[in-house]
Amino acid sequence: MLREIVNVLCNNIHFCIVYKKKYIYYIRTGNIIDNKLSFIDAVDNQQILIDLNEVEIITFGTNTIPTALDIREINILYNSSEAAFFKLNNKDHTTNNEIFNNAVSMCITYIDVFDKVYSNNIKRMVLNRDYEILKFFKILNCKHIFDINNMTAGESEIVRGLFFELVQNKLNIAIGEINISIQEFKDNEFTNEALIISQDLEDDVKSFIERMRETTVSQLLTCWPTLLNPSPFAEVHIHV
C-alpha cells in the first residue's frame, strides 16, 4: 500500500519523507523502481535513491493521502487527473503544495545562513515548524546549530561569546549614534546630557555582562540590557 500511495503522490502532491527515522527529504517529483524511490531532493537538489520499506510519509494538508479505493480508480483511469481524489481535493492539494514550497524556500534560506553540514537538521526543524531556534542562531550570527537543551561546555561558550559580542555591538551602535548627534547639535547642554546617557549605557551593559557570565544559555534567551531595549530576541520564543 505504501508503494501505491507514494506512486500517486509523485508528480502530483508534494511531500516529505523521513528515511530510517533520521534523514529528511522534500519531494516534488519521483519515480518508483522496483521497491525503491528515485527523486531529486527539492532543498539540496541532489539525486536520491531510497528503499520504500524504511520511509514515513509527511504531507502538508488534508485529503492528501489516497485511500485504497482512490488508488484503484486512479489506476483504472487512462488520465489519472480525472480521478475523484484529484478533482474533489484540488484546493487541498494546491494548499499542500504551496505550504511545501514555502518550507523549501525557508530551508534554503537557513542553509545559506548556516553551514551546509546542518542541512538535514534545518530540514527537520522546518518540517517540525521549530523555527525559533533557527531565528535565535541567525540573530547571533552563529554558523552552527546546537541543541539548546543538550549543549556541551564548549558549545555553550561559543553561544555565550556570540551573545555578549552582539550586546557589545549594539552598545557600540547606540554610542555611535549619540556621538553623531553631539556633533550635529553642537550644544553644551545637549552634549552633557548625551554623555551622561552614553555612560549610563556603558555601565548598564557592563553590569549586565557581569551578572550574566554565570547563567545558562537558556537563561540568556530571556535577558537583555535594559537600556539597550528592544532586544533583538523579543520575537524569538524558545521553550526550554
- Output 98 or 218, whichever has higher pLDDT: 98
**98-125: pLDDT as tens digits:** 999 999 999 999 999 888 889 999 999 9
Q: What is the pTM of this model?
A: 0.82
Whether the predicted pLDDT of 234 surpasses 90:
no
Alpha helices in the chain (DSSP H): 2-9, 68-76, 84-88, 90-113, 119-127, 131-139, 153-185, 188-212, 217-220
Residue 23: strand, helix, or coil? strand
Task: Please compute the mean of the pLDDT values over residues 17-22 and round it to a whole number.
Answer: 95
CB 74 within 8 A of CB 83: yes
Confidence of residue 8 (pLDDT cuts 50, 70, 90): very high
Contacts of 135 (CB under 8 A, 6+ apart): 235, 236
The predicted pLDDT at position 78 comes to 63
Task: Please compute the mean of the pLDDT values over residues 164-192 and round it to a whole number.
Answer: 90
CB 23 within 8 A of CB 121: no
**152-163: pLDDT as tens digits:** 989 999 999 999
Q: How many angstroms separate the CA atoms of 148 and 159, rounded?
A: 10
CB 123 within 8 A of CB 43: yes
Residue 204: strand, helix, or coil? helix
